[in-house]
């Protein structure tokens, strides 16, 4: 595995990502989209998810593709970001055709950032406008760290953030990840700077520190956030031609990367969720030669890339006035 040229999810050709954020609100929205519908699925392992339209992504459901995926702050209020994205897609003539009508398909997931110090005393929900702005801003290059839906993210010890990474496999297939890290768990080992994801790091992309020589004694973590306050939400993507069932398998495997990078993860207090999408531009090799090889390689790559994206998001977070937690750069950089 080597990183793609950008080391972003948009190394999967055809994908675009847009961010919109409000510094006073201390929250934002991140949108992944493309010029044509994407095959998509999802898998949830956290105990407190907040989602919209995810049932459509089951392999047995009618709709075969999505027009965009939304990752948003704002807890349940943030699900309204999908409305803004739908409006923008509708204006562009996009959507699932039902006779002469078109209905944009925009699943989404949210993180809880209502208690992060931002001004949440709004009179009208700000998330539809943020969603539309994020979709409009979508490009192949985008900011990560303290940006978009990761602007106000926190973890068990350090500021969270928006992360992304990519890998190109020996087969030529590209896999990428996009993640909002707002976890109950910790991305680093003990009180030190070393990331749990270090064994999967490529080219010193989050500091090149490796793992510590001595690990702290094992301890029982405490639930420092309340039910619904913690979530890591992610998208893994590939150009390999996978159907919804194959993408669901890929999303399940990608959760391994979340568990490698955040300790603990998948708790009853987290809403951990992974979407998986495919542009379908790279046909898979003949399945009769080795029918399990592709699923094996893609699942492993998705887990590795997601672990790296989580560490990159935390590593790239920057300080802001009124922070409730230190960022990695301020403490260890």
Of 32-36, 53-57, 287-291, 323-327, least confident by mean pLDDT is: 287-291
Question: Which residues constitute the domain of residue 223?
Answer: 2-332
Of 59-63, 196-200, 323-327, least confident by mean pLDDT is: 59-63
pLDDT at 284: 78
Task: Tell me how crowded residue 291 is: count the other CB atoms within 10 A of its CB.
Answer: 9
pLDDT at 289: 57
Peptide bond just before 264 cis, omega within 30 deg = yes
Rounded to whole angstroms, how far apart are CA atoms 176 and 9?
Answer: 4
The pTM of this model reads 0.95
CB–CB of 44/234 below 8 Å?
no
pLDDT class of 286 with cuts at 50, 70, 90 = low
CB–CB of 262/157 below 8 Å?
no
Rounded to whole angstroms, how far apart are CA atoms 57 and 251?
Answer: 12
Alpha carbons within 13 A on the beta-carbon side of 279: 21
Count up the domains in the chain and report the number: 1
CB–CB of 321/281 below 8 Å?
no
What's the Cα-to-Cα distance from 31 to each of 82, 209, 215, rounded to whole Å?
9, 31, 38
218: pLDDT strictly greater than 60: yes
Give the domain CATH number at 26.
3.60.70.12
CB–CB of 60/171 below 8 Å?
no
């Amino acid at each position: 595995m080597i990183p793609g040229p950008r080391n972003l999810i948009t190394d999967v050709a055809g994908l675009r990502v847009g961010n919109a954020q409000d510094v006073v609100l201390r929250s934002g929205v991140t949108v992944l989209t493309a010029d044509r519908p994407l095959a998509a699925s999802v898998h949830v392992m956290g105990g407190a998810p907040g989602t919209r339209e995810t049932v459509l992504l089951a392999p047995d459901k009618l709709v075969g593709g999505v027009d965009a995926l939304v990752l948003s702050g704002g807890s349940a209020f943030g699900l309204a970001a999908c409305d803004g994205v739908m409006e923008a897609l509708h204006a562009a003539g996009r959507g699932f055709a039902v006779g002469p009508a078109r209905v944009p398909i925009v699943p989404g997931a949210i993180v809880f950032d209502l208690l992060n110090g931002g001004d949440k005393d709004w009179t009208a929900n700000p998330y539809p406008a943020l969603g539309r702005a994020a979709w409009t801003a979508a490009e192949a290059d985008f900011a990560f760290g303290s940006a978009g839906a990761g602007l106000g993210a926190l973890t068990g010890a350090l500021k969270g953030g928006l992360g992304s990474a990519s890998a190109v496999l020996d087969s030529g297939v590209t896999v990428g990840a996009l993640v909002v890290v707002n976890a109950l768990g910790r991305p680093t080992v003990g009180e030190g700077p070393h990331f749990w994801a270090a064994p999967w790091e490529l080219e010193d992309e989050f500091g090149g520190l490796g793992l510590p020589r001595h690990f702290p004694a094992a301890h029982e973590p405490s639930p420092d956030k309340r039910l619904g306050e913690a979530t890591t939400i992610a998208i893994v993507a590939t150009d390999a031609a996978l159907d919804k069932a194959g993408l669901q398998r890929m999303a399940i495997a990608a959760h391994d990367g979340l568990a490698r990078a955040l300790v603990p993860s998948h708790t009853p207090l987290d809403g951990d969720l992974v979407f998986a999408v495919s542009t379908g531009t790279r046909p898979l090799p003949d399945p009769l030669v080795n029918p399990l090889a592709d699923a094996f390689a893609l699942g492993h790559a998705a887990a590795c890339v997601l672990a790296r994206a989580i560490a990159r998001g935390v590593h790239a977070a920057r300080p802001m006035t009124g922070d409730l937690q230190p960022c990695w750069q301020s403490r260890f950089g």
